[in-house]
Copies of this chain bind each other. A is one copy, B any other.
């Protein structure tokens, strides 16, 4: 569990700690899991997954050059050697992956359906897909894609409000809610 401020962030939005924890728990990683992180952003989820699966491998797929640089810097900062970065817009970049234990989708660029099609062929039976959505449209599309495929899922919206200490007071500061949708491949 890494504090948010430990990551090198730049101007790229980052998944906050509590969301990372829940996302990774729902991805059910083991020490040897092979995982893809689609839309890896700053790489915060990639790094935590790499630490949870030291004998496994994490593929970080990210289309933006600026974000790819951040992932590289974070891989270096946290000294993880089981991360491979793929600079591509998914589903491009997914086709050559090995069999996967889990897929985490933090960004899909509007191609969720095609991404799930490719992942369907890569995930082991019982493998987990965990989608993080911050818009109504991505949430609705994800649920629709999963229903269509007949995959069972559980979904929840997580609203974290940090209590920030200001003198003798603790002030409620809301983080933006994230909907976490976890599905298991049939």
Residue numbers of A with Cβ under 8 A of B are: 1, 18, 21-22, 25-26, 28, 134-140, 143, 147, 154-163, 166, 168-177, 179, 181
Contacts and interface: CB of A to CB of B under 8 A. Distances in A.
B158 A160 contact: yes
Nearest to A174: B174
Contacts of A136: 136, 139-140, 143, 163, 169-170, 172
A101 to B, nearest CB: 14
Contacts of A139: 136, 140
Given A21-B21, A25-B25, A135-B171, 6 more contacts: A18-B158, A134-B172, A135-B170, A137-B170, A138-B169, A161-B177
Contacts of A156: 18, 160-163
Nearest to A136: B170
B163 A172 contact: no
A51 B155 CA distance: 24
Contact of A18 (B22, B135, B181): B22
A176 B179 contact: no
A149 to B, nearest CB: 14
Contacts of A22: 18, 21-22
A26 B28 CA distance: 18
Task: Among A136, A137, A158, A160, find the residue whose CB has the most chain B CB atoms closer than 10 A.
Answer: A136
A140 to B, nearest CB: 4
A160 B181 CA distance: 13
Closest 4 CB pairs of A and B: A140-B140, A174-B174, A155-B163, A159-B159
11 contacts: A18-B22, A134-B171, A136-B136, A137-B168, A137-B169, A137-B170, A139-B140, A155-B162, A155-B163, A174-B175, A174-B177
A147 B135 CA distance: 15
